[in-house]
């Protein structure tokens, strides 16, 4: 059953890639179209996303490691792996009643793991022995990792906003020489292994419950998540011992994966709706599991990566990450990717809009809407009765309102924004060179959803 479902999803992904290519050509975006053409050709020549080859290889390694830890190899080998062409997903496992299961990992998550891995590499692989000694001395003296926090935060900010407002991942990557690229790949591979190991651990430990006829899904119980993390950490360390890689490849690769999960969950969801541990809890758990020799690196690099992620992830009205956007255009370390830098002006405009406080954003939304009664009544409901009432006033679909009413259901920001645009089509276009009314309504609604979640 899982294999048949995966084949159907591959056909769907190839169709999505072809439609994206047609749109790029129709819009006259030759550079992006050339890049997309390469992706389509890879899809058509192999019949699947090339990333699946990496996922499948990592899956086999995780299965062997878990079997050596006493888990049922035959059960684990029934699990298929594939990608998710979605911006607001991380990874998930779906089980079927025939005993098979399917793990899907989002393009967004794998792209972010690669980004973190590339930023780790220059700090871990200095130019020469003398530079390495200087870095080691500074690290010993200051207890701080040699990561470019500002550049990492900028790269993350581009990715996060691109996903939120354009529904398309865009991951600015560092230019690396061949030797450093190999090291970055090692970090990224261990990050992907951890993601797959966590989902396979759910399957191995039987942490599933019936979701709908013929399908089972993970329950999301907090203790189950911690048990799955524990087995996943041990499996990844088992892989490291069997391969002869550096311990720091495994440990910092796992840190990169946890930061990527944190980045997606905190930036792309108005409401998470799961019981996943926080990034801090997972880092503390990893700190307890890894060998003593690597614990200092978990703390040093984890602290800087978390700070950069938190700085990039300021989306509440009134917040301003104050990041120098021009550096992405000027810094020679950034790869000139056609998707990465094409919309920097729009992203900077988003930051300017978002820096308005709540009161100013409400006033601006009402003013730009021409004091539209529907917009005004919805805003009144938003602050008096909550997000569900506001969305109902604006004309959101019943199916979407049903999802909002269930606090256990995750709501992505992009889905929330699209629904508000669908309900209020007259207010979805920019006016007078400023962000549209619907963008402000989406930000305000996200704020109220997050407030409800924390109270």
pLDDT over 50 (residue 413): yes
Q: Is 106 helix (H, G, I), strand (E, B) or coil?
A: strand
What is the pLDDT, as a whole number, of residue 215?
A: 45
Strands 269-271 and 215-218: unpaired
pLDDT above 70 covers a percentage of the chain that reads 85
The 3-state DSSP class for residue 26 equals helix
The reported pLDDT for the residue numbered 275 is 62
Instruction: Report the distance separating Cα 417 and Cα 435, nearest Å.
Output: 13
pLDDT of residue 319: 84
Three-state DSSP at 24 gives: helix
The per-residue DSSP string of 327-378 comes to HHHH-TTB---TTTSTTHHHHHHHHHHHTS-HHHHHHHHHHHTTS-HHHHHH
Q: Does 442 score more than 50 pLDDT? A: yes
Show the tokens assigned to 386.
Answer: 């909550």
Question: Per-residue pLDDT for 190 more than 80?
Answer: yes
Q: What is the pLDDT of residue 223?
A: 81
Check: CB of residue 271 under 8 Å from CB of residue 388.
no
Over the chain, what is the mean pLDDT?
Answer: 83
Query: Could you tell me the two tokens for 6?
Result: 């995966």
| pLDDT band at residue 345 under the 50/70/90 scheme | confident
Q: pTM to 2 decimals?
A: 0.85
CA distance 137 to 285: 28
- Cβ-proximal residues to 424 (8 Å cutoff; 6+ apart), any chain: 374, 375, 394, 395, 437, 438, 441
pLDDT of 88 reads: 58
* CA–CA dist 307, 328 (Å, integer): 19
Q: What are phi and psi of 103, to 5 degrees?
A: -100, 130
Task: Say yes or no to pLDDT of 274 above 70.
Answer: no
Rounded-to-integer distance, Cα 99 and Cα 3, Å: 12
- β-bridge pairing 79-84 and 101-106: parallel
Residue 36 scores a pLDDT above 90: no
Q: For residue 2, give Cα distances in angstroms to 48, 76, 223, 323, 440.
A: 15, 13, 27, 44, 41
> Model confidence over 217-262: pLDDT tens digits?
454 567 888 999 999 999 999 999 999 888 999 999 999 999 999 9
Find the range with the poorest average confidence among 169-183, 195-209, 245-259, 333-347.
Answer: 333-347
pLDDT at 53 over 60: yes
Phi, psi of 270 (to 5 degrees): -70, -30
Does the pLDDT of residue 101 top 80, yes or no? yes
pLDDT of residue 210: 41
Helix H, strand E, coil C: the string for 113-158 is HHHHHHHHHHHHCCCCHHHHHHHHHHHHHHCCCCCCHHHHHHHHHH
CB 62 within 8 A of CB 197: yes
Range from 33-37, 56-60, 67-71 carrying the lowest mean pLDDT: 33-37
- Supply the DSSP string of 267-308, one letter for each residue: HHEEE--S-PPPHHHHHHHHHHHS-HHHHHHHHHHHHHHHHH
Lowest mean pLDDT among 143-157, 162-176, 257-271, 360-374: 162-176
Q: What is the Cα–Cα distance from 343 to 354, expressed in whole angstroms?
A: 17
pLDDT tens-place string over residues 369-398: 999 999 999 999 999 999 999 999 999 999
- Give per-residue burial for 31-70: e unless 16+ CB within 10 Å, then b: ebbeebeebeeebeeeebbebbebbeebbebbbbbbbeee
Binning pLDDT at 50, 70 and 90, where does residue 211 land?
A: very low
The candidate with the shortest Cα–Cα distance to 311, out of 113, 170, 156, is: 156
Answer for the pair 276, 225: CB distance below 8 angstroms, yes or no: yes
In contact, 417 and 407? CB cutoff 8 Å: no
C-alpha separations of 65 from 47, 73, 76, 186 in Å: 29, 9, 11, 17
The tokens of 352 are what?
């300017």
**Separation CA 301–CA 381 (nearest Å):** 44
More confident residue, 315 or 250: 250
Asked whether the beta carbons of 90 and 282 are under 8 A apart, the reply is: no
Please report, in angstroms and rounded to a whole number, the separation of the first and last CA atoms in the chain.
41
pLDDT at 130 over 60: no
For the chain, what are the domain ranges? 1-49, 106-344, 356-454
Q: Give the separation between CA 315 and CA 415, rounded to whole angstroms.
A: 16
């Amino acid at each position: 059953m899982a294999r048949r479902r995966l084949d159907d999803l591959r056909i769907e992904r190839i169709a999505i890639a072809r439609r994206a290519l047609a749109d790029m050509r129709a819009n006259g975006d030759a550079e992006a179209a050339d890049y997309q053409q390469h992706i389509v050709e890879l899809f058509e020549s192999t019949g699947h996303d090339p990333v699946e080859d990496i996922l499948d290889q990592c899956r086999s390694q995780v299965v062997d490691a878990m079997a050596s830890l006493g888990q049922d190899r035959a059960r684990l080998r029934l699990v298929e792996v594939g990608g998710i062409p979605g911006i607001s997903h991380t990874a998930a496992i779906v089980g079927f009643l025939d005993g098979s299961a399917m793990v899907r990992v989002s393009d967004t998550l794998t792209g972010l793991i690669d980004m973190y891995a590339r930023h780790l590499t220059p700090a871990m692989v200095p130019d020469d022995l003398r530079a390495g000694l200087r870095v080691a001395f500074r690290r010993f003296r200051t207890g701080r990792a040699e990561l470019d926090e500002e550049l990492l935060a900028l790269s993350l900010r581009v990715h996060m906003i691109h996903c939120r407002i354009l529904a398309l991942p865009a991951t600015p990557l560092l230019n690396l020489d061949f030797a450093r690229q190999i090291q970055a790949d090692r970090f990224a591979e261990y990050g992907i292994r951890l993601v797959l190991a966590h989902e396979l651990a759910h399957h191995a430990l039987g942490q599933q419950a019936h979701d709908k006829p013929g399908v089972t899904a993970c329950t999301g119980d907090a203790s189950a998540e911690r048990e799955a993390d524990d087995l996943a950490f041990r499996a990844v360390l088992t892989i490291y011992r069997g391969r002869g890689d550096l311990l720091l490849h495994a440990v910092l690769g796992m840190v990169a994966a946890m930061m990527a999960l944190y980045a997606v969950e905190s930036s792309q969801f108005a409401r998470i709706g799961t019981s996943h541990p926080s990034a801090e809890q997972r880092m503390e758990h990893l700190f307890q599991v890894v060998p003593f020799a690597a614990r200092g690196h978990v703390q040093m690099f984890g602290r800087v990566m978390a700070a950069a992620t938190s700085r990039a992830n300021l989306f509440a009205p009134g917040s301003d990450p104050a990041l120098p956007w021009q550096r992405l255009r000027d810094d020679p370390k950034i790869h000139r990717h056609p998707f990465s830098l094409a919309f920097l002006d729009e992203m900077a405009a988003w930051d300017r809009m978002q820096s308005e406080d709540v009161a100013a954003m409400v006033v601006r939304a009402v003013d730009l809407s021409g004091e539209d009664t529907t917009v005004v009544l919805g805003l009144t409901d938003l602050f008096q009765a909550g997000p569900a009432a506001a969305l109902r006033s604006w004309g959101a679909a019943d199916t979407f309102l049903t999802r909002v009413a269930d606090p256990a259901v995750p709501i992505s920001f992009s889905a929330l924004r699209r629904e508000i645009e669908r309900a209020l089509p007259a207010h979805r276009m920019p006016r007078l060179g400023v962000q549209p009314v619907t963008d402000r309504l989406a930000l305000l609604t996200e704020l109220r959803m997050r407030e409800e979640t924390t109270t």
